[in-house]
Amino acid sequence: MESAALSRIGLAGLAVMGQNLALNIADKGFPISVYNRTVSKVDETVARATEEGGLPLTGHHSPRDFVLSLSRPRSIIILVKAGPPVDQTIAALSRFLEPGDAIIDGGNEWYEHTERRISEASSQGLLYLGMGVSGGEEGARRGPSLMPGGSRQAFDNVADILSKVAAQVDDGPCVTYVGPGGSGNFVKMVHNGIEYGDMQLISEAYDVLRTIGGLSNQDLADIFDEWNRGELESFLIEITADIFKVKEEHGDGELVDKILDKTGMKGTGKWTVQQAAELSVAAPTIAASLDCRYLSGLKEEREAASGVLEQAGINNEALKASVGAVDKKRLIDDVRQALYASKICSYAQGMNLLRAKSQEKGWNLNLGELARIWKGGCIIRARFLDRIKQAYERNGSLPNLIVDPEFAREMVQRQGAWRRVVGLAIGAGISTPGMCASLSYFDTYRRSRLPANLVQAQRDLFGAHTYERIDRPGSFHTEWTKLARQCKAGLGVHN
Ligand SMILES: *[C@@H]1O[C@H](CO)[C@@H](O)[C@H](O)[C@H]1NC(C)=O
Ligand SMILES: *[C@@H]1O[C@H](CO)[C@@H](O)[C@H](O)[C@H]1NC(C)=O
């Protein structure tokens, strides 16, 4: 099976993403070898390459033939399920690899696994990259956003290929060397956490417009189409408009109304929230979106609870009526602004999580550059990422996106609408956990004095944890209970 000409790069793992990425690479003119343990997958990919006009792709049925078909130093992308399958694939291939060759894992891997594999690979003289790939099937085939981290040399060896294969935007290809260690996987994980937040916020906008505004799916399709021509322009808003248009094939109405309200997940959102907690970074919007997925999973419990609380006296219609008549046009405009402001807070949380991890690990992540490579190809691609990039370019040590002068002005312009939407939803009994979390995040972050003084007093009272004062340095402890008794006794005298 060995052909005389050697391939520039190899790809192992030919499920949908792997096949599409391999075809994309071949399509850009880079000869590629592909391999999968399941021979039919190899043949399928070769057939697709032939159908697409004879792309330079060769299939191999054994790990040895596959590895030996590559020019040196070799670079092999593996796209298999995260976890043990990655270790198995590495084991199968590395027997034939030689020092200087590189393995590039394109899966949604936990970053610590990548760090372990980097050191295992280096003990054999091999280079290793953990590369986040976003964009789904279509992105893999037409141009994904790529987030490679690990060996700089491994990146340099394939930088020309990745630059051509990635999505292209006005300021370059959607790929950059993210940083050392497991940083590529970590950045992809946070990307997915942000994606959870975006999807949650969009679903809340939908809920408010539908439930309080009484809008039809046709109205919603038009509104999302319109939003997609403005500051909210993004992949997720665009596909949401399309979803509202699809008719139900077995009856009247649209398919979206027939879908069971239970959200699935694969784990990267949960990791994001776990990491936020580990790093003591507040990420309430992303956490709210995760919590909402958990609660959505309790469909039967929720149906039972709905019955119990109706019996106990909750009346959905009365709650909805309690907010009075709404001006539809105004509601639509308010929801658009609430969605935008909530989104800024969610991205601020994700970016701060990246910065905290970068500081802990010494990754030296460039937040503006990461916002740039998310502008195309990936699921969270959006016009507004260019503004985030600019904010970090203006000020690399910006502590929070909210205090970038431009974003600060936008948040303030939108806060009236934002508060109206959240207030209306609360009044009507419609849960908007993501928008509420974002607004609370904003209000907590921007207030120079919080009720944390009282919490400190409580901690000092029951645990002698001490407190600091606003008017003099040092740490203090007070015999609160004893003093309170004395004061009470004093009060008694006055009575
Ligand atoms: C090959 O294909 C199978 C089934 O699609 C998959 O489970 C496996 O992980 C793939 N990868 C490799 C490297 O064999
Ligand atoms: C960056 O932002 C911080 C916080 O707002 C500010 O203190 C600092 O002066 C800014 N730096 C520049 C170069 O604008």
Q: Give 294-340 pLDDT, tens digit per residue.
A: 999 999 999 999 999 999 999 999 999 998 889 999 999 999 999 99
How sure is the predictor about 1, in pLDDT bands with cuts at 50, 70 and 90? very low
Banded pLDDT at 490 (limits 50, 70, 90): low
Sole residue written with tokens 């508060």: 419
pLDDT band at 4 (very low <50, low <70, confident <90, very high): low
Q: Is the CB of 41 under 6 A from ligand 1?
A: yes
Q: Is 100 helix (H, G, I), strand (E, B) or coil?
A: coil
Find the helix packing angle between 384-394 and 405-428, rounded to 10°.
130
pLDDT at 495 (0 to 100): 43
Determine the average pLDDT of the residues in 204-218. 97
26 assigned to a ligand binding site: no
36 C-beta closer than 6 A to ligand 1: yes
Residue in 355, 398, 403 to alter for ligand 2 test, most ligand atoms within 8 A of Cβ: 398
- The one catalytic residue in 28, 41, 188, 343 is 188
Q: What are phi and psi of 92, to 5 degrees?
A: -65, -35
- Residue ranges and CATH numbers for the domains of the chain are 3-181 (3.40.50.720), 188-445 (1.10.1040.10), 452-488 (1.20.5.320)
Residue with CA at minimum distance from ligand 2 atom 2:
398
Q: Give 487's pLDDT tier (boundaries 50, 70, 90).
A: confident
Q: Ligand 1 centroid to 89 CA: how many Å? A: 9
Q: Is 8 annotated as a binding residue?
A: no
Active site residue 52: no
This model's pTM is above 0.75: yes
Residue 266 is assigned to a ligand binding site: yes
Percent of the chain with pLDDT over 70: 98
Task: Give me the pLDDT at residue 266, please.
Answer: 79
Task: Please tell me the distance between residue 340's alpha carbon and the centre of ligand 1 in angstroms.
Answer: 41
Indicate whether 486 pLDDT > 70: yes
Q: Residue 409 is encoded by which pair of tokens?
A: 């002005």
User: Whose C-alpha lies nearest to ligand 1, atom 4?
Assistant: 38
Span 271-296, average pLDDT: 97
Ligand 2: centre distance to CA 230 (Å): 29
pLDDT of 395 strictly over 50: yes
Q: What is the mean pLDDT of residues 179-208?
A: 97
Average pLDDT (234-254) is: 96
Active site residue 488: no
3-state secondary structure of 104: strand
Closest CA to 162 of 16, 13, 32: 32
Model confidence over 66-122: pLDDT tens digits? Answer: 999 999 999 999 999 999 999 999 999 999 999 999 999 999 999 999 999 999 999
pLDDT bracket for residue 491 (50, 70, 90): low
